[in-house]
A = this chain, B = another copy of it.
Amino acid sequence: MTQFQARTVAFIGLGLISGSLARALRASSWTGTLTAWGPREPSLQRGLELGVIDQYSLDLSEVLAAADMVVVGAPPAATGEILGSLVDVLTGLNRSPIVTDLASIKGHVIDSMARSYPNFVPGHPIAGSEHSGVAFADGALFRGREVILTPLPDTASDATEQVKAMWDLTGAYIREMGVEEHDALLAASSHMPHIVAYALTRALERDDSDPMVHGGGALRDMTRIAGSDPLMWTDISITNQAALLKAVDSFQDELASLRDLIASADAEALSDYFAICRAHRREHDDILNPLTGGESEEIS
């Protein structure tokens, strides 16, 4: 793999994910400078005190003027607008550093950029935590996790190689795929399951017999993610709308088929169906339970 050549990495927005990337770079063999700009000085000050970054400035032009690699850390709905402003400032400065982002939805980000920028490499590290904020930044967050890059037709291949080289220093493994493929995959692996959990929880909430009072391990697990942040999931539902609706439709069709098997009391087909599901789940136990190696799972 190409060596990571940037001398200064600038974070536009400093939070849990960007801060974790800064910590991972600091812990690696790379010896450059970590700088940041953000809308709230206390976060930047905190990052400096904690040793997450080496310096910061409230002047965006100053930060961009020195950066070889710019990492934008913002929610999906805001990332595209921020990228657009950055490109305007960089054009004014007559500079073209490599730019990447961390947003979990790629199509919306790219669509909302006003103009193209060949040194922009869309990225998404599939890692997170229930916490937020730079104080929880963890240099090991990306170790063994997946980072998806979705270079565009006009993205410079040198830029993509440099973003790969940066993530390689964090212990992540890197995959490249198309923008639509990324958004469809995330819709299926994360967004649609959240919508299913929300609809299940609401169905239980509307039930006068209050089934949650009688809930065991099944309901505990099937409704856990319905405790997630309402604003974040509103943002995701809207910014990944098309792929999410497609994934919801696939699930609805599947559930309708299974309902038919129950309605016709087809014992053989039901038991085959359930056995396929059990086998598919077991095949992925190691991936879904990385800490236990897939072992010692409770089945209720």
Contacts and interface: CB of A to CB of B under 8 A. Distances in A.
A214 B201 contact: no
A191 B258 CA distance: 13
A234 interface: yes
A31 interface: no
A113 interface: no
Interface in A161-206: 181, 184-186, 188-190, 193-206
A93 interface: no
A278 B189 contact: no
Interface string A231-271: 10110011001001100111110111111011101010011
B284 A212 contact: yes
B215 A284 contact: yes
| Main DSSP-derived SS at the A contact region | helix
Given A209-B185, A213-B284, A214-B185, A271 B234 contact: yes
B203 A234 contact: no
Contact of A271 (B128, B231, B265, B274): B231
Interface stretch (A14-22, A115-123, A218-226): A218-226
A204 to B, nearest CB: 7
Nearest to A127: B216
B202 A276 contact: yes
A215 B288 CA distance: 6
B214 A277 contact: no
A280 B222 contact: no
11 contacts: A126-B214, A184-B209, A189-B214, A189-B218, A196-B196, A197-B218, A198-B258, A198-B274, A200-B254, A221-B224, A244-B262
Interface of A: 126, 128, 130, 146, 181, 184-186, 188-190, 193-207, 209, 211-228, 230-231, 233-234, 237-238, 241, 244-245, 248-252, 254-259, 261-263, 265, 267, 270-278, 280-284, 287-289, 297-300
